[in-house]
Amino acid sequence: MTTQVEYNIDNDVIDKLSGLQAGGALHTLRHQREKVAVASQGSYDALFDPALEGIGLDERLLVALYACRLAGASEVAGHYRAR
């Protein structure tokens, strides 16, 4: 089962977690290859879709939280903890 979700630049997780502001130099640089931003967000949306069967969303979020802790990414860990 594949669900297409339309990309919404305002909900881009990497932009939000990185503090990138629309129109800023880094934001513009990141979005020069828009298909990369769309694919990254699409992967996030697919991995954390509550309708995804097999492994529960809570388990997927715990794995993401654990990976963030191992990597020392405390701000990103906060994002997963809040979800």
Q: Kindly tell me the burial class for residue 3, based on how many C-beta atoms sit within 10 Å of its own C-beta (0-12, 13-18, 19 or more).
A: exposed
Model confidence over 64-83: pLDDT tens digits? 999 999 999 999 999 999 98
The dihedral sign for the CA sequence 13, 14, 15, 19? positive
- Show the low-confidence residues of the chain (pLDDT under 70): 1-5
Task: Enter the DSSP assignment of 54.
Answer: S
Any idea where the domains of the chain sit in the sequence?
1-47, 53-83
Q: How confident is the model at residue 3, as a pLDDT?
A: 58
